[in-house]
Each structure stands twice: as C-alpha cells, then as structure tokens.
Amino acid sequence: MKAYERLLNYTKFAAASDSASETCPSTPEQLDFARALVQEMLDLGIEDANMDENGYVFGTIPANSENWTGPVIGFIAHMDVVRDVSFQNIKPRIVENYDGKDIVLNAEEEVILSPDEYPSLVEYIGKDLIVTDGTTLLGADNRAGIAEILTMAEVLLANPDIKHGTIKIGFTPDEEIGRGANLFDVERFGADFAYTVDGGGFGEVEYETFNAATATLTIKGRNIHPGTAKNKMKNASLIAMELNSLLPAVQRPEHTEGYEGFYHLIHMEGEVEKATLTYIVRDHDREEFQAKKDRLKRAARWINETYGEGTVAYEIVDSYANMAEQIKPHWHLIDTAYEAVREVGGEPHSIPVRGGTDGARLSFMGLPCPNLGTGSHNHHSKLEYACIQAMDDCVQVLVKIAEKYGEGVFGK
C-alpha cells in the first residue's frame, strides 16, 4: 500500500485532542485510532505491536543485518489533529497532474488554494495533490507521518534484502495540545535516537525549535456604581489592555519570522472586577527567551506600582526548550538524514521550527529526536494539502535512514 492510500484511510478517524480534558489520551477517538494502528501493524508483521495504558502505540522491526552493532533508531508521529478547525467528516480528493493554477476547494464558500498565496504549490506542478473539500482540515499533520512510517515498515518487512538494524516505531496522542511526550515511556520505547516525522515539505530536516512558555496574568479590579466611580473604580479589563500595550507590537506572531520570537495573546476575558490575559511566549535564543519573560514581569510590576500592589498576579510556566542543544552533540542524526534526502533526489534544508514537536520534549528526556518533512503543507487549515509523490519520497528517506544505521556503528 502507498503512503497516500494510508493517509486517505486515516481521514475517517475524527481523533482531535482536547485541552479541556484531563485524561490521557484526552479524547476516546484517539484510542479508536490507536487500536486500528496496532491492528494494522500486526497485519504487517510487527509482532510486538501494542498500545499502553495511556494510548501510546509501540512496535519493533527486528534487525536483519548480520553482525549489526549500531544504535537502535526510532520513528515517531502523533495521532491527534487540532480541533480549532473542523476535523469531522473529512472528504479528501485527489487533484491529478496539478497544472499550477488555483484549486477551487469549495465554490460555495469561496475557498481557494492559490499558488499566489501559497507558493509551495509551484513545486508540485505535474504531480498529484490530496486536498480537502474546503470545509475541514486534511489531517496530514500528522497522519502523513504515520502513513509514511508504516509504509517504510511494509517496505522493510517485504524486502529482507534491505539490511537494517533494530527499528522502533512510536505513535503518540495529544501532541497538538502540548502533551504528546508527557507519558511517553522512553525506556520502554527502547531507541537510542529517533526522528519525529512531523514536518512540512519533503527534504526538511529540523533540529531547532522555540524555547516556549505560557504566561497567565490575572488582574484584580474594583467595581462601584459608575455614577460615583471617580478615584474609586479600577476597571480590570482596561488595566489588562494597558498591560498588553506595554509589550512590543512588533513582537507578535503576525510581525515575526525566522528566528524572531514573539508574545502571542491566545486568550483574554474580563469584567470590571477581574480580567485574565494568557500568552504563549516563544524564542529560539535562550537569553532572548528569558528577556521576554522578564519583560512580562516588569510590565506586571509597573501595573502594581501604578494601581496598587496586588493588582496583577502572574504565573509563567516553561513548556519546552530548544532541542538544538540536545541534537548538536549527535550530529550524525542530521548528516544521515541529509545524505538520505540527497540519495532520494532531494535537497535537504533546515529551518528553525516556529513551534515545537514531540521531539523537542523527547530530546530532553534522553531521546535525541530531530524532525523530518512529510510532503504536506498548510497544517491546521482547511487549505491543508499533501503531495502523493513527495510522500513517496519521504518514505524512501526513512528506508535510507534505516539502511544507513544498519551499516555501521554510530556514536551513542
């Protein structure tokens, strides 16, 4: 089976994660998908395929390379999709031999996938694309990665002449809500190194992520009848707006790119008596990251000095760190992936991930774990799409990586 055929099959699973849930996985639909993947793995011949009590799926492809002494390599993808965009009743379709023009996904709602807005489409002229009907996401993030990992497994198991070492496979729940690595059992997984297959275009080899934190600021106001409010009322909602104005507007996501970090206001609510601001704070550079958190603290202090001590309380919780510092001591992971991409006919490229992956957390849990492209684009969007031929190329990259770690000894 081709990787794209698996992706089409996986679209029937409405397995979005839910940050409001405290369970793991956060939704029962992820368990349904996990069970289906375990059965698929067993059918492929992955004899130890299993799901643990938290919904994580594991499996092993035994080494078939004689006298193999290399490290154990793993491949990881996540099962959930976001719920911010419609994720149920996905109706994928294939655009054959893409001609480089606008693709009308939904004429009634005027949803158009255009190369003018998304130049990556130009790379796929003459190739076949999987798109949506313009009413839901596709779910290629990260079902394309799952499809490619299991297609790699099928290739290796069906072709014993391809020599490789021991390979571990892992599928995680709840990555989209930042919990994918929370209960990942690194020791049980049993790999020395791994790759998440959770990126964008073919040829991506990513090893830098943001440093990340979530900041919650709670503003306490004082209500009183507006007719007698002079010098007495403290409007928490207005104070919240003033606090937000103390952060640089140029450091918002819509004004940043590359290595530029940001403050992103993701939630706000307020009345006169109480208001709350929630930000995610991001930066690739650890010192700049700390400076951003410090600026939030200074803003809170200034508000307290202006309106009285106790007006603002804040909590800043780190989420994950830039995995580059954990990957660089094991640079063979990047060199090997680069070589594999070139051998498949691509040009490897590394860009700073403007987000995080399970690999960021796992790298700090003792499993160095860079990220690979999947041949898909516009994730978390009704304009999401994947290229069939690029997915095939991504599968071949995984096969090549498996071969290379079966050939010799790499430093652990």
Give the catalytic positions in this structure.
80, 175
Best CA proximity match to 289, nearest among 315, 321, 258:
321
Could you tell me if 104 and 112 are in contact, meaning their C-beta atoms sit under 8 angstroms apart? yes
Question: Degrees (nearest 5) of the Cα angle 41, 157, 193?
Answer: 75
Look up residue 226 and give its two tokens: 């507006």
Could you tell me if 51 and 156 are in contact, meaning their C-beta atoms sit under 8 angstroms apart? no
388-392: list long-range contacts, CB under 8 Å, 24+ apart: 388/2, 388/4, 388/94, 388/127, 388/128, 388/129, 388/130, 389/124, 389/127, 389/128, 390/124, 390/127, 390/201, 390/202, 391/2, 391/3, 391/4, 391/7, 391/144, 391/147, 391/148, 392/2, 392/3, 392/4
Return the residue matching tokens 């007698």. Answer: 228
Residues making up the chain, counted from first to last? 412
d(CA 195, CA 75): 5
d(CA 235, CA 275): 9
Pairing mode of beta strands 274-283, 129-131: unpaired
Look up residue 366 and give its two tokens: 């003792």
The full DSSP string for 255-301 is G--TT--EEEEEEEEE-SSEEEEEEEEEESSHHHHHHHHHHHHHHHH
d(CA 276, CA 241): 10
The full DSSP string for 82-103 is -SSS--SS---EEE-S--SS-E
Best CA proximity match to 140, nearest among 395, 394, 377, 383:
377
